[in-house]
Amino acid sequence: MRRILVIVFLSALLSPSSLYSQAYPRQQQSNKNSPLEIVISGPGLIRLGQSLIFKVTLINRSPAPIAIAGYTPGSVGSTFSWTISDSSGRELRRPESKESICGNGPPLIDDKLFILQPGEKFEYRDAGDLSDTYVFTGKGNYRVTIRYQFAPPDSTRPLDKNDYQLHGDGAINPSKLDALRRTPPIDVVSNTWNMVLQ
C-alpha cells in the first residue's frame, strides 16, 4: 500500500500541470486580478513549413466595460506578444529579421479601439501566421501562449494627440474615450496551447 502511495505522489509531482507551473510562474502572476481573459486555439499536429494560424478570443471578466486596443505595430499602449517554447519551457529563437522593432507609430484611431461589455467576447483577427516567427528545434512537443499588455492613459492627465486620434478622420468616439479612461492596466497571458511537430 505504501509503495502505491509513493508512486501516486511521484506521478502527481511530475505531471505536466506541475511542470507548467514551475516553468511559467510569471505568466500565472500576470493574470492575477486581470479584467480580461484570453483563450487561444490552433493546430495540434504541425509540420515544418505549415501555416500556424491561431484563433484568439478576448473575454471581459470584469463587472464593468473595458477598452482594448487592436494591435498596430509601434502604436501606443498595447502589445500582443507570442511565445513558443519547447517541452522544457525554453522559448524558441526568433530569426533576426523577426525581432521586434520599437518605435513611434501612428496614433490610435477609433477603428482600433474596442469596448467590451461585461462577459462580452471579441475575436482578435490580426494575430498573423506564426510559422516564420520562430526557429523550431526539431520534432517534438511545443507550447504556445500569447500575452496582451495595455496601458490606458492616466485619467488625471489630458490625452496626448500624438498617441490618440482626437480630431479629424479616425477620431475616437467620446464614449470610447470615457471607457478608455476607466480601464485599468491590463497584463494577461492566454491559456497554453500544446502542439506536436511531426
Q: What is the pTM of this model?
A: 0.75
**Within a domain: residue 3?**
no
CATH number of residue 106's parent domain: 2.60.40.2970
Number of domains in the chain: 1
Is residue 105 one of the residues assigned to a domain?
yes
Q: Is residue 8 part of a domain?
A: no
> Mind listing the pLDDT tens digit of every residue in the chain (198 residues)?
444 333 333 333 333 333 333 333 344 445 778 999 999 999 999 998 888 999 999 999 999 999 998 765 445 567 788 999 999 999 998 876 544 444 456 788 898 899 999 999 999 877 778 887 888 889 999 999 999 888 888 777 788 887 888 889 899 999 999 999 999 999 999 999 999 999
Domain with 153 in it: 31-197
DSSP state of 154: P
The verdict on residue 137 lying in a domain is yes
- In sequence order, which residues have a C-beta less than 8 Å from that of residue 143 and are 6 or more positions away? 20, 84, 85, 86, 87, 89, 192, 193, 194, 195
Q: 104 lies in a domain?
A: yes
